[in-house]
Amino acid sequence: MSDDQMVTIQVDGRELKAKAGTLLIEVTDAAGINIPRFCYHKKLSIAANCRMCLVEVAKVPKPLPACATPVNEGMQVYTRSPLALAAQKGTMEFLLINHPLDCPICDQGGECELQDIALGYGNDASRFVEGKRVVPDRDIGPLIATDFTRCIHCTRCVRFGAEIAGIRELGATGRGEHMEIGTYIEKSVDSELSGNIIDICPVGSLTSKPFLYSARAWELVQRKSIAPHDSVGSSLNLHVRRNQVMRVHPRDNEAVNECWISDRDRFSYEGLYSADRLTRPLVKKSGNWVETDWQEALEAVAQGLKRARGTSGNRLGALLSPGATLEEFYLAQKLMRGLGSENIDFRLRQSDFRAEEPAYPWLGQTIAQLDELNAALLIGSNIRKEQPILGHRLRKAALTGAQISFINPLELELNYHATQLVNSPAGMISDLAAVAKALGGYGGLIDSAEVSDVHHRLAEQLRTAERATVLLGNIAVAHPDYALIQGLARIIAGNSGSLLGYLPEAANSVGGRLAGALPGNDGSNAQEMLSNPHKGYLLMGVEPGFDCWNPARAMETLGQAEFVAALSAFRSQSLEQVADVILPIAAFAETSGTYVNAQGEWQSFSGAVAPAGESRPAWKVLRVLGNLLDLPGFDQVSSEEILAEARQVAGDRKPDNSADGGVAYERLLAGVGLTRIGDVPIYALDPLVRRAASLQKTRDAIEASSRINAREAAMAGLADGDKVVVKQDKNSAKLRVVIDPTVPDGCVRIPAGLVGTDTLGGQIGDVTLEKA
Amino acid sequence: MANEVCFRNMDQDRPWLLEQYRSRGGYEVLTRILREKTPPESIINEVKASGLRGRGGAGFPTGLKWSFIARNAPGQKYVVCNSDEGEPGTFKDRDVLRYNPHQLIEGMVIAGYAIGATRGYNYIRGEFWEPYERFEAALEEARAAGFLGRDLMGSGFDFELHSHLGAGAYICGEETALLESIEGKKGQPRYKPPFPAHFGLYGQPTIINNTESLASIPVIMEKGGQWFKELGVENSGGSKLFSISGNIKNPGVFEIPLGTPFAELLEMAGGMKNGSKIKAVIPGGSSAPIIPGEQMMQLTMDYDAIAKAGSMLGSGAVIVLDDRNCMVKVLERMSYFYYEESCGQCTPCREGTGWLYRVVHRIETGHGRPEDLALLDDMTTKIAGRTICALGDAAAMPVQGMLKHFREEFEYHITHKRCLVS
């Protein structure tokens, strides 16, 4: 029987058609026939262990599990016959004998699969009169609360770890009724996707620790939203109570996030309620910050910008967060252009702007297409932590045989087999040139490249694969020779027949370009604005100490300005040091807007809660500023109106990776001494996630430190735990030494975006270490 | 006629040595097969003709099992021997490993040849340290003599065989849990289909047979399937090892033709101990429902006769109980075993075996309730047939058998808080 042959089966007398071999539960689910189940999950392997979905199949004496029974022609199924019901009710009785009756205090209460199904299949009284099993809870980290007494041993969480997260962090130990879910040895669950086990746990064994005992499911109102961090733009459901986001769940979107979300998207909402949330406008008076009303603050901004502008708009610059909405980008650039300034940028973590960049860099393919790749080369990307869902997609491809390789300055902890070429940032350029040469590229530094076996192998993998891609990640963008990387990547992709793709850093890096939030003719880009002091600046959603490629220089440059106006959802030390007025704006979940994700999809969302305190959506703030500055075209009354205008201006501009870039650039990074690798850790990406308390307690939230391998440490006479003074340009920081074998020779990993490294220079550049 | 197959060398001194095995024509069948390049189909047909049924307990026809393998499909295939003999009352495979290891090795090589497998594993029960060492020594001898390894006797056929010692879990005697265990995973049965013939060890086609079944192969190939079949009776070909224990004079392992009256087997074991009266017999390992003694004395030891009496021949583990035994106590002990040995993956077995034990325990200790027997009856129907493997059935059947034949003892216990016997 061929696999795509259609068969007809009968379920409870209803005729259904399905592909032969499809699992019965999939057929009945599609037809809306409800069969109770616990262990079955559409994205996980079949375990058939809960025995809840037993149904009667004609001519088979025993009831069969619908989750593990393939359909065949003429099959007659009875889901509610006496045999089926007896089996289902029997299983339910067994499930309940040892399950605690603590539904009133269980966070799963009201949204519990066991509770729901028990209503239909359980008895009103138990025949079990013995003592119930008690299982000790385990501390598996700051995100997930455990109550293993409630566990029904469906093993969804175990299979999730093995199959989706790609790390077996949880397992079942012990036999019979002594079987327990746990980590075996004392340890935390650290996957960047770990929170999904909260959703797939059918009972209250695994619940959200930050949400623990804070609300009942039935008090929550569900509102749709889009995730605000990476460029996946995962679909979210925000659960709101009394104008507060209580928790975040994924919303099924097969084309984007399937049914998963990253922990960053799930738990960053905590940042909304951090102590340093800004709720009233602030103005600096004689060096002191004073709370004020909107009227005064807005007028101060309008006056300040006007004064700084003087006779030329070119004296003003705008630095915008790549996590701003498309509407905010659009109005901000309109405001700046209205004032005669073309100095607008959101590419705050890029230092090398020499290359002609594509008009709208994007993934170059759909997110779902990543699953189908046969080969991929990732350049300067820790995709797993930068874009967890894309990392998961790539892993799926790897598991079906795709050859994945990386050229990075750090060895990554991957959850699939891949080739990792780990070299210093300067060495990365040589590796890329060698791969380009192996593919027949020529010119500039390619001609002098030395091609080794591994370069040939990477080249061949891309060249021979039916579907191959070359992707540029965050570390590539931060590279001082990003222009060269782009040129080399273009040659590698072109000569190997691979798609060139960009992994946009933030939720709206693509949208920022479509909204025109880039420097116009003769305008200054972010680095120029942050190197050459302008008279006045407009900052939106930016913390200069943490969000810029070179925080020390950014602080110094902004400090020299006459006037800095900032729109911010948070109080921030580095912002308060340089700004003159800070206007409180709505954060994630508090405003409507649009994000354009990596695959170029415009995703609009509504606000789920009112902005905190007196803060206002940034688009409203910008519109009023436009009015106060007497600029035309600031009369929109809704974000939809702005979106319509932005769409019209964007016209038929589509994400597009084509450009004429070559490799005729001088190498700026010599890499002779020690090179700093300043990657941005997963939970340091933006102001919101930096304030998400629980995420900051995870293993991935690494502290500011100076990480070198044992060889380099020995040469410098340093040991793990020593204090060193790191000097970069004229800046310094005192940091702890951590011996880290993932860092290549000649390099020191000093992550960016963290308190303690914000006094240093560029993310990638020369540094020296001295024992303190 | 006894000791024709697995025990045919029991009269020898140190029969486990290669030299002794060869002195009676050992490995000659294998040599002939390899020399003559006997077509694998004819070997499988011979096994089919012998009527050999799986000696581990399920009684599935061995030849038929072998024929499910896609012999000519590319890729690794495996022969696995199940020596995890864990069924309470069973101790026959231990004696095959101890006294006739070479016949097992020869059987496994022939099986490998028949299905196109070049690698075999013998999974030996964790407690069988001595048999394991003896089997290991036999493997060494066989390797040195060229019966294992590459290009056996210049035939171009390779076969390597390894033993693997379990760690004491009863469930690893279930064939797919055994495969998981060899793979280094937790011993939990797999959902079937797919069966091991299609998706076995490391996902490759695998035959998995009991020790006694595989050790019977060289004799079947030497004397012919028909000869073997005629040792026994209709539908129960061959002779079989029975491990008989309980309140009898001489517990031990006996090879007798299938179809031999139980009374004769009991006689061979010296009859009842101290002349006590037979009360009941568990004919095929603790999972088989109990049969009252009088009824048992009329039965013959073959698959059909025992099945007709409502039990199973199983692994041939015969446990004989005399009239001093309290059936509540016996069942309590057996229920504890299944409670302890459930792997825990399926709900009815994980939760139900513990519940069964607790209810029986409470009756035994004088805390039974009038409704408990109905509860046990009902619970067993909700465990049996509702789980991935047969452990659920194995836990339920002894309870059902006991309540069918000895219900009054349980009722007496509940009412009088003490035993009917003694």
Break chain A down into helix, strand, coil percent, rounded to 5: 30, 20, 50
The Cα A473–Cα A480 span in angstroms is: 14
- Note the maximum CA span of chain B: 74
> Chain A interface, mutation test: which of B351, B356, B375, B382, most A Cβ atoms within 10 Å?
B351
> What is the bridge-based pairing of β-strands B206-210 and B160-165?
unpaired
pTM as predicted: 0.94
Q: What residues of A are in contact with residue B385 (Cβ under 8 Å)?
A: 61-63
The one-letter code for the residue type at B60 is F
Q: What is the pLDDT of residue B422?
A: 64
Q: What residues of A are in contact with residue B347 (Cβ under 8 Å)?
A: 49-52, 91, 94-95, 152-153
Note whether B231 contacts A: Cβ–Cβ < 8 A. no
Q: Which two tokens stand for residue B401?
A: 């058998």
Tell me the C-alpha to C-alpha distance, in Å, between residue B402 and each of A121, A601, A609, B395.
30, 68, 65, 12
Q: What is the pLDDT of residue A670?
A: 85
Mean pLDDT over residues B317-325, rounded?
96
Closest Cα in chain A, distance from residue B347 (Å): 5
Q: Do A63 and B375 touch (CB under 8 A)?
A: no
Looking at chain B, the number of H-run helices and the number of E-run strands are 18, 11
> Chain A interface, mutation test: which of B346, B347, B381, most A Cβ atoms within 10 Å?
B347
Closest Cα in chain A, distance from residue B361 (Å): 11
Instruction: Read off the pLDDT of residues B80-99 as tens digits, 9 standing for 90 and up.
Output: 999 999 999 999 999 999 99
Torsion angle (degrees, nearest 10) of CA A169, A173, A179, A180: -40
Q: Which residue of B has its CA nearest to A53?
A: B386
Tokens 């004491």 -> residue: B168
Q: Do B350 and A176 touch (CB under 8 A)?
A: yes
What's the distance, CA A131 to chain centroid? 45
What is the percent of chain A with per-residue pLDDT over 90, rounded to a whole number?
95
Closest Cα in chain A, distance from residue B101 (Å): 32
Chain A residues whose C-beta sits inside 8 Å of any chain B C-beta: 46-52, 54, 61-63, 65, 68, 86-87, 90-91, 93-95, 97-98, 127-128, 130, 152-153, 155, 171-172, 174-179
Mean pLDDT over residues A493-510, rounded?
97
Question: Is A713 within 8 Å of A737 (Cβ atoms)?
Answer: yes
Mean pLDDT over residues B302-315, rounded?
95
Instruction: Read off the pLDDT of residues B38-57 as tens digits, 9 standing for 90 and up.
Output: 999 999 999 999 999 999 98
Q: What residues of A are in contact with residue B358 (Cβ under 8 Å)?
A: 130
- pLDDT surpassing 70 at residue A338: yes
- pLDDT surpassing 80 at residue A2: no
Q: Which residue of A has its CA nearest to B168?
A: A175
Q: Which of B342, B386, B387 is closest, CB to CB, to A175?
A: B342
Question: Is A196 within 8 Å of A160 (Cβ atoms)?
Answer: yes
Q: Do A87 and B191 touch (CB under 8 A)?
A: no
Closest Cα in chain B, distance from residue A158 (Å): 12
The Cα A492–Cα A498 span in angstroms is: 8
Average pLDDT for chain B: 96
Q: Do A172 and B191 touch (CB under 8 A)?
A: no
Instruction: Read off the pLDDT of residues A151-192 as tens digits, 9 standing for 90 and up.
Output: 999 999 999 999 999 999 999 999 999 999 999 888 899 999
The Cα B237–Cα B54 span in angstroms is: 11
> Chain A interface, mutation test: which of B345, B357, B369, B382, most A Cβ atoms within 10 Å?
B345
The Cα B378–Cα B355 span in angstroms is: 12
Q: Do A153 and B350 touch (CB under 8 A)?
A: yes
Q: What is the pLDDT of residue B1?
A: 53
Closest Cα in chain B, distance from residue A247 (Å): 32
Instruction: Read off the pLDDT of residues A82-106 as tens digits, 9 standing for 90 and up.
Output: 999 999 999 999 999 999 999 999 9
Q: Please count the other Cβ atoms lying within 10 Å of the Cβ belonging to residue A734.
A: 14
Instruction: Read off the pLDDT of residues A402-441 as tens digits, 9 standing for 90 and up.
Output: 999 999 999 999 999 999 999 999 999 999 999 999 999 9
Q: What residues of A are in contact with residue B355 (Cβ under 8 Å)?
A: 94, 97, 128, 130
Backbone angles phi, psi at A23, to 5 degrees: -70, 140
Average pLDDT for chain A: 96
Tally C-beta pairs within 8 A across A and B.
Answer: 94
Q: Which of B344, B375, B387 is closest, CB to CB, to A127?
A: B375
Q: Which residues pair with A19 in a beta bridge?
A: A6
Q: Do A130 and B358 touch (CB under 8 A)?
A: yes
The Cα A543–Cα A343 span in angstroms is: 18
Mean pLDDT over residues B99-119, rounded?
97
- pLDDT surpassing 70 at residue A317: yes
Cα angle A10, A12, A18; round to 5: 35
Q: Which residue of B has its CA nearest to A87?
A: B382
Q: What residues of A are in contact with residue B388 (Cβ under 8 Å)?
A: 48-49
- pLDDT surpassing 60 at residue B259: yes
Note whether B374 contacts A: Cβ–Cβ < 8 A. no
Q: Do B345 and A52 touch (CB under 8 A)?
A: no
Q: What residues of A are in contact with residue B356 (Cβ under 8 Å)?
A: none
Q: Do A65 and B342 touch (CB under 8 A)?
A: no
Q: Which of B341, B355, B387 is closest, CB to CB, to A97?
A: B355
Q: Do B346 and A49 touch (CB under 8 A)?
A: yes
Q: Which residue of A has its CA nearest to B345?
A: A49
The Cα A573–Cα A582 span in angstroms is: 12
The Cα A378–Cα A503 span in angstroms is: 10
Closest Cα in chain A, distance from residue B173 (Å): 15
Q: Which of A51, A65, A174 is closest, CB to CB, to B344?
A: A174
Q: Which residue of A has its CA nearest to B171?
A: A175
Instruction: Read off the pLDDT of residues B337-378 as tens digits, 9 standing for 90 and up.
Output: 999 999 999 999 999 999 999 999 999 999 999 999 999 999
ipTM of the complex: 0.94
The Cα B225–Cα B228 span in angstroms is: 5
Tell me the C-alpha to C-alpha distance, in Å, between residue A74 and each of A8, A13, A29, A79.
6, 12, 19, 16
Assign A502 to helix, strand or coil: strand
Q: What is the pLDDT of residue A1?
A: 44
Closest Cα in chain A, distance from residue B288 (Å): 19
Q: Do A155 and B345 touch (CB under 8 A)?
A: yes
Q: What is the pLDDT of residue B73?
A: 85
Please tell me the number of Cα atoms within 13 Å of A493 on its side-chain side.
Answer: 25
Q: pLDDT-based confidence at A356, cuts 50/70/90?
A: confident
Note whether B171 contacts A: Cβ–Cβ < 8 A. yes
Q: Do A90 and B342 touch (CB under 8 A)?
A: no
Instruction: Read off the pLDDT of residues A471-499 as tens digits, 9 standing for 90 and up.
Output: 999 999 999 999 999 999 999 999 999 99
Assign A264 to helix, strand or coil: helix
Non-local (6+) Cβ contacts of A493 within 8 A are: A462, A469, A470, A499, A500
Note whether B90 contacts A: Cβ–Cβ < 8 A. no
Q: Do A47 and B191 touch (CB under 8 A)?
A: yes
Q: What residues of B are in contact with residue A51 (Cβ under 8 Å)?
A: 346-348, 386-387
Note whether B176 contacts A: Cβ–Cβ < 8 A. no
Mean pLDDT over residues A639-661, rounded?
91
